[in-house]
Amino acid sequence: MVAELTKLSSAELELMYKAPLLVCILIAGADGDIDRREIKRAINIVQKKQRGSDSVSVLFKEIAQDFEDKLKVLEQSYPYEATQRTPLLIEELSSLNSLWLRFSQGFAKGYYDILIMLAQEVAASSGGLLGMKSIGAEEAKLVKLTMIKNPGA
């Protein structure tokens, strides 16, 4: 386990492991349809972020294990309709704000930056010309993850 996480309760620890999955479900499902391209892009980002020896990379190494399976299971635990699912995801992700002060600035900022990049990449993965680099209207409202405060600000 990552040293940064040892002081967390089991619920807080679960949130840290779930947050990238929650971001993926929130952004990919914003338009009501979580498609294969969005899932593949999320998997690719998480796998890239596990390379390295810093605490955030070590955490993402753990998160990346069976990411797609975890995503599918977690997705099933939320309402199917985006209008019902989105508020629940926003509320859960906003819980990260209370954890930032418990981490070093570098860890909190690194983790936050990956969540933001994950949101942007998932949003851009399935829109626009031939499904590339365009963010749909529903995703654009959420992609900045305004429910999560930037711990570096």
The pLDDT score that the predictor gives to residue 129 is 46
Q: Is the pLDDT of residue 78 over 60?
A: yes
**CA torsion, ordered 127, 38, 52, 106, to nearest 10 deg:** 70
Q: What is the mean pLDDT of the chain?
A: 90
**In Å, how far are 60, 87, 135, 152 from 14, measured between CA atoms?**
13, 19, 29, 23
The pLDDT score that the predictor gives to residue 48 is 87
**In Å, how far are 3, 56, 86, 98, 122 from 65, measured between CA atoms?**
19, 15, 25, 26, 19
Q: Is the pLDDT of residue 134 over 90?
A: no
Collapsed DSSP state (helix, strand, coil) of residue 141 = helix
**Contact at 8 Å (CB) between 21 and 65?**
no
The pLDDT score that the predictor gives to residue 136 is 74
pLDDT single digits (tens) 24-47: 999 999 988 888 889 999 999 998
